[in-house]
Structures are given as structure tokens and as C-alpha cells.
Chains A and B, each alone.
Chain A
């Protein structure tokens, strides 16, 4: 071995393989930290002394490959090419071997002076994976050292192996064999490049591969040299290639091999085909050699996730399970919790009855007393009565999410979307709309195709959001007590679903779609939801809803009370609200709606949650303290009227925030108005069919 005094050794690896741990352990406090010239990437250099050798250890940026896609890749590649380190310490995560070996293969294309540090073997073993480091070394023809960086085990051996590598002339490392059709083209490119002086600066095979890929960095470098005028400028500082380079560069500004690339492109071999062929071959090579030195200990039995997924994702059982889960969620949230809502409603009435005498004692004006009792308490109380339902819905939503089932539901939903002619990603937007249509519409941003996006946006308001579900469940609980409530609620959701499917198919016909595509989804493991992950998001969502709704409800309650009170001394149906309802009676009449329903529908446009407060005020809930809104409404309309109202309410124009968001996201006033008109017409037609169909069937 020759005597070495100063050596440069580079530490290379994927991100998060423990490179910094190795670097810090080997260099201690002898480090210099800065940035790479002209880059924002951190540069770390340390020194290590070994007997008479002074080692400059450079921690190269973590990277997955050496293709010029990112700053990290370019820095690592350029360092290896330009600085020519005496050895490369390649750190490999044994628990993620495939991904890590891809980088190692790319390094071996640049230099054979590589030593592999096999880290995280303990993690690999715990997942049933045993790696024979000796065989790996034989296959790659480079030394492999087993290390546990976190404990400092094997680090000294790793560095020693790198020192040995630095002092020897290693045999040529293994090279990937590409398919014969590709190999032919590599050899042809090598033949073109070999006589050029430029090729002397790089490993020939690597340069040929990069030329075939039309590597952008090589092109940039060539252009920067070719555009210089003097011999000194043309010759890179790191190289002494003399006048020949200048002569060659001046003779042509075209990169060598361009004609050959054009020939290949004409036969269908563009740079992307080469890029893919090279990457594909490396992965195939890795999977072949891995079989030789990795043994997997099969797990004694399938994991819980595998077992559950066989059912949850089954084309046969998946959908019935999904429907059953959703039915349970809706039943518990919106039907079983109704008594809690009644309790709050009664509590608000009691509170109003307690407060009004106090106001009277304080000589507050009668109108103010009326506003507090029949305006604020009736309106706000009506909305508060469905807070338990909403909170429960959010608890279940968090439960499904935290358990991992929501992701499965989304996956099943994708198949359903495909059947409707929608993009699978539309599911996420539509599912989000069950919370609120505004974020649902914004979630369409993940859809690349503008037509997919537009259709999903237009379909979004057909999904009943939580405020709508809350109002619906309150009315359902009043008119369809007991198990009939669950049937009514599921029927309404069924109508919403069928309308959604038919609308999707209709819009697909009118808004022509171009192409279909799919995605690969990473499903999380199932696990038992924690209380924190369930209750905290549920509380945050409920609080967010109340905070958002409060201003609307309070303002709407005051406005509706004023409209229904003035002019003073007239009957309710002669008030401003009554007159407004009367003006719209011609729309409501075919559907069996009275003027109060029409006013509630109009005010629902401002925010859906105000509908219940409007109904509460117009039906005079607190005027009759012993009755809840349910009791007052059931005395005024039939169950058929109520069901027709619910269908219309569920499908008619979305709230103003949703309309504004649709306009902002679509950028089209025309499509926004089309959406509003479409919802109005569809809701009217379906409600009319239900009302008159019901009458014909004798449902009163």
C-alpha cells in the first residue's frame, strides 16, 4: 500500500439513512458547515486522523439518485466526478434496501471505489428480513460493512474499509446489463463519444448513458464551455485538457452524438424511453440480486390489516360493509341523538322564560323582550338543538379516519366514481362536502382535468353538508319518530345519491370528458382509535362550525324576527315576512309549501343552518313555551309536506358561500349560474314528483 497523507472521502446515501449520525460520530467537533457554492444546500466537511493519514470527510447531500433532477443530486454527482474522492462510503438502509441500492448502482457507474455501510440491520431483521452482507459484497464486487450507526457499532470498520479502498486499485465494479436493444445503442453512443476529448473527463459508459438520456446538466456544461472565446476560459479549472478542447469546441457547438440521438428518436427511442429503460433495468437487476442475498421470514399469519382488508376492500363485501357503516353513523348521529337535541331546545325555552321576566323587571322595552324571546332564543335555540347530532357525526367521522377505515371507504368510493364516469379523486371532494361544501369545492383542485373539476364542482352542492343534515335530522325526528326516522333519513340520502349519479351521467354527456385515469393509494394500517384523535378533531370541527354559524344565525334571527314582527299589530301572514312568503307562494304551492317554508328556504341561501332558526321564529316556538319546534311543525303540516320540504331543501341551491367559492374556483360566472339553476330545477322536479306521487299513493 502506498503511503497516504491527505485523502478525500465522501459519505453518500439516501435521505434519512443515518448519514449525519455516521458523519458526526466519525468527525466529532472537527466540522465545518457552510453552503455549496451558489446553492442553498448545506455543505458539511469534517476531518478525521488515522495514524499518518489526514482524512477530509465530506457529507454529501442525501439523495435518491444521481440524475440531474434536484440540487442535491447535481451536487453529489458533480462532487464525485470533479473532486474524484479516494473512496466513497455509501450508507445503505437495510430495511429499505431496494431504494438504497438504486443509488449505489448509479454511484458504481461513476466509480468502483465504493464501500457499503449496511445500516439499520436490526430494523430489517425485526420485519423478518435477513441480509447476507457477504453475498451482497460478492454480487456488487465491493466491500460491505455491517453497522448500527445509532449505537456507533461498526463505524470504525466502515472507515477502515474506505481507507483500504482508497489505497487500492479496485477491480471494475458490477455493471447493470440493459436489454440487448438498449445495449446496442449504448455501445453505438460510446463509439461516437470515445474519440472526443470531452469524453476523457467522464467514465465513458456513464457519459453514453447520460447522452442517451439527454442529461440537462451535461448540455449546460457543454454550452457554457462552447460559448467561451479564449483557450483559458474554455478549459475548465479542474481539467488540463489543453488546446484540443478549444479546437474541438470551436469546431461545433453541438454536443457529440446529436446525430445518433436523432436517428434513435426517429425509430421511437426518445430520451424518455432511454431514461425509463435504464431505471427499469436497474430495478430489475436489484430485484434479481436481492433474491440471492435476502431471505424473508414469512409471518406466521396474515396481519390484522391484511385480514380486514380482504373483507373491507372485497368487491363483494366491501360495498355492503361501507353502506352498513355509513347507515350506522347516520342513524346514531342524526336519529338516536334526537332526544339530546330536544333537551337543549327545551332548555333554551326555559332560559328564555327565565330571562324575559328579568328584562321586564329592568323595564326593558316590550319589543326588546319580544326580540330576545321570539327572535334570538327561538332562532339560536333551534340551531343549538342539533349541535349534539353534529358533534356525534364529527366523532364518528374522526373514528373512521383514525381507525384507517376512511381511507378504505375512499378507495371503494373511487370505484364508484369510475362507474359514474368521474375521476376517482372526485370522491375526496364529494366526501369532504358531507362536512361542508366550501372545502369540498376547493378539494377539486386535486383534479388536473378542468372538465373533471367543473363537473365535480357542479355536483358538490347535491351532497348535504352537516348544517343541512342537522336541519334534516331535526325535521325527520319531528315527523318520523323511532325507526321510521332512520328509514326516512336513509331514503333522503338515497335520493341524494341517485340524483348525484344521474346528474354525473348527465353532466358527463353535456360537459364532454376527455380521458380517464386512476391512482395508486397508500392505505394506512388499521388501528384502535385513540380518545385524543377522536374527540379533539370532533371538538375542533364542532367549535369551528358554531363559530362560523353564530354570526349568520344571530343576524338571521334578528332579521327574521323583525320581518315577522313589522308592521306592528298585523297578523303574521301580513308581516313583511308573510308578504315575502306570499310573493313566492306560486313556487311553493305545487310542492305543498306554505309561506313560512318559502321564507325559510330563501333565508337558507344565506347559510343553511339559519333555516331551522327561521322555522323556529316563524312557527313561534317560544311563543308557546311548552312546545318544541317539532311539536309546532307537526301540528302545521303533514309528513308528506315535511318529506317534500326535506327533499327540496337537501337539493336546492347551495348557500351563498358555496356559490361564491364555485365562482372563484371555476372562474366562470356562466357555470356558477348554471349550477345554481341546475340545482333549483332538479330539486323542484324531484320534490314535485315526490309530493304528487305521495298524494296519488294516499300519503298525507
Chain B
């Protein structure tokens, strides 16, 4: 019997060989774009695929060819387009290492994202933390662009989002946040927007200053159900991020006290945001509270004042700037786009479930006119390394 058991155990171990994939047979997708062919309404997909043999590591090695291979194909559905890629790809397309899915604004506005959400949720290879973004231009252009410091551009895009919290100008949207917002009752999705701009500098011909196109964050795409209805600029997105993410850091440029032509900037740190619904005279209202402890990171002011006097003035300016950011954003999201991406309805339901049932069906009509009171408390305690503002001793 023990021999039989041994044989059975060995046989069981071989099960993993069924459907095995050799790494050499795989075309590992690093980034992926979805566009639309306007002539026949087909989807055009573009996959940026790594050539591991030509990716030079830190310790050297690797071939001399291009580290990536970018290919495109077309089909009526995403799956058909991907299968059509297999007509000329010498390897099987493998999604597990994909960093980012870029969807063109045209697809997001005209066709919607439900097909994309469904397909990538059903696909067992894709990571749920794969970034999903909207491209202002053709998505394939963006995927084909060599951007960032990394050898594989897809990896650069991944890190662009991974560390985007230091600029706080676009949300970090992935398959999971997109799915969750789309499936949720009375919640709508939002996605980061990206664009290509000439930002890189060619060191061999520096006279062509800023001639190399690079991918940059350019704001937030706002959806109603699965269709894009509008976008927030990078500046407007600063106000938006308070509501949907934890802001680790953000820069607020300000004018100097009593010197409007000179600039100073503070970095928002230790930020806390709270949104609380309340009912006043049978009307739904919200109170948004921001608490921040900014660092004074730059003071380009010619001033005889001490830090203690300056920060008092700057604190007021910071508070006004944050309130302005949020008000501009609210005006767009509530009045113009009429999409509850801020999840105000869900927040209200959480606190007032009884009242929510009464207004649930009419929430879409109520939402654009809901008042959101904003209060900001800024407390600058840290001037970093300097005891006094930078000024010559002769003053």
C-alpha cells in the first residue's frame, strides 16, 4: 500500500505540469493601451512587451537590442483583439506582469469602461493593483513612448503612480478602485489622466531643449456609471484628492506676505480630512474638515519679519488656498458633471440610513445642490533647518 501511496504522491506532484508555461514562451506585457478605430468602431489594442534578454540589469548583462517590443492589433472585442495579437506574436501574451492599462479618452467617453472592467476582472492573470488611466491623446502613443528613468517604460509608468503621492495632482486609480466604484450603489468611478509633453532633454543636442516626449500626470477623469463625463485639471485634482485618498504630501505655492511678486511654498504634511453629513432644516449638508501641519520648505521673500510672524500670515494663506481648491473642484464635480465620485451619498447613507431610504431615488437630483461647508486648520510648526528667514546680515 505504501508503494501505491508513493506513486500517487508523485503523480499528484506532476499535475502542475498540465498547462505549464515556460518563461521563454511568454510575451510579458508591461503596459497596455485601448483605443478605438473610428472607421469601423473596432477596438485597437497596443501592448508593450518586454524583451528580457535585452533588459540590462544593475549588474550588467543583457543584449544590445531594444528592451521592449510594442505591437498593435484590432478586434470587435478586447479578447478578439488580444487573440489577433497572437497572429504575429511569436510568444503567448502573458498579463500577470502588466503595470498599467491606458484607455483613450475617446473610448472612455463614447464606449464606456464596463467591457474593460469585466474583462480584466475575469482574467485570472491580471493583478488587481494594475493601474488604470485615461489618456488625453491616443493611448497607443502613450504606451509606445519611452518615458522615465527605467529601461522598460511600463515600469516607469508604474513608479510614476506609485510615487505620485508627493505631487497629489492625480488619483492613484487601479483595477480594484475602478471596480469598487463602478459596482457600488450611488458611487461613480474616477481615473487618473495622463498626457504626453515634451519634457525630456537630449544631452547630445541640448539646443533642442525639452524635445523628448514624456508621460506626465494631467488630472482626473470623472465618470458617471461607466462613461467619462468630464475631467479635472491637475490643479483641480488637488481639491478632489482630499475626498478620495489619503494625502501624504502636497505643495502649495503662495505669495509672500506684503510682496505679491515674490513666492514662497509650503508642503502639506500630517494631513487629516473628514467629511461629515448633517441635516439642517430638512436639507442635507456636509462639513468637510481639513487639518494640516505644513512645513515651510521655501521662502523667497525679502522680509525683516521673524519666522513666527511669517507663519501666522502663511497659515491663513494656506487655509484660503485649500478652500479655494476644494470649492473649484466641487463646482465642477457637483454642478457641471453631476457625478457623485466624492461618495457623498454613501457617506450620508452611513450616518443617516433612515433618511437615505427616503431620498435614495432622488439623490441624483439632490446631489448637485448639496452644500459642502469647508473648514481648514493649518498649523505651520516646522521651518526645517533654518532658524530665521534667509537674509543678509547687513539688513
On whether the two chains bind one another, the answer is no
Chain B residues within CB distance 8 Å of chain A = none
Give residues in A with beta carbon < 8 Å to B.
none
